[in-house]
Structure formats: C-alpha cells, structure tokens
Amino acid sequence: MAQYCKYKSQGLCFDMVSFTLEQKYPELKYYYEELGGDKIKALGYKEKELKNEISVRHSTAKIHYELNKIFKPNMEFTTEKIKELMNEVYLKLEINKKGKASDLEKLYGFRIHPCKIPLDNGDRKNGYRIIGV
C-alpha cells in the first residue's frame, strides 16, 4: 500500500508497477480513490483502519442524508426534540450512537443558532433554529 501511494502521489498512475499492483490487489485502487494518499498514510497503511475509516465516512453520509430530510432551514426545534429525532435516525440506520444537538453543526455541517422555543403552555425552552445546511 505504501508503495502504491508513493507511485500515485508522484503522478505515476499509468506506471507499470502501479498497474500491476492494481491488478493483483484491486482494493488498493479503491482505498486510494476513497481516502487519498495522505489519509492512508495517516492511518498507517493498515487495512483494518482503512476499512473502518471508509465505513465511518459512508455511515456519516447516510446520516447526513436522513438528517437533511428532517432539518430544513428556518425550522426551530427544542434541544430535546433534536436529540429525539437524531436518535430515531441512528436507530433506523442501526448506528450505536446518542443524538446531540451540537453534533448537527460539528459532524454534519448544519448551521444552527441557539434560540428560545415557545411552548403551548407559555413556557420557553432552549433550542436551535436551523440556519442552513
């Protein structure tokens, strides 16, 4: 894997050595296309780590897709409701994780702004307004 990344980073993608490596180990090309040479190097060229990183990226994309169906710009949710909705998405995708409102911004790229949400009984609860995705 290290040798393959070296050839690819030097722009030797049509080199006979990299072609031969791709033919013998097709997963090399897949990992390189998915993660890039720098990330592969950062993960120590370990196949287990590469598989895990790809799995995380794919699950993050699925989560983001599902969250985009729920959270639209200018909508307001209490913090509790955000957690509840995120937990439903995680459960649907069989991901063992707890929903946190701050993860909308930190992990999934939503732009949120804290606000007070009026309740039916006149109280106000902490929540967030979705500003953008």
Give the amino acid at 82. Answer: I
The domain locations on the chain are 2-45, 63-132
Sequence-distant (6+) residues with CB within 8 A of 114 are 126, 127, 128
- Element containing residue 130 per DSSP (H, E): strand 124-132
115-119 contact pairs (CB < 8 A, 24+): 115/76, 117/76, 117/77, 117/78
Q: Which residue has the tokens 């039916």?
A: 120
pLDDT less than 70: residues of the chain: 12-15
Task: State residue 12's pLDDT score.
Answer: 59
Task: State residue 73's pLDDT score.
Answer: 93
Residues 56, 61, 64, CA angle at the centre, nearest 5°?
120
Give the amino acid at 105. Answer: E
CB 98 within 8 A of CB 49: no
**pTM of the predicted model as reported, rounded to 2 decimal places:** 0.66
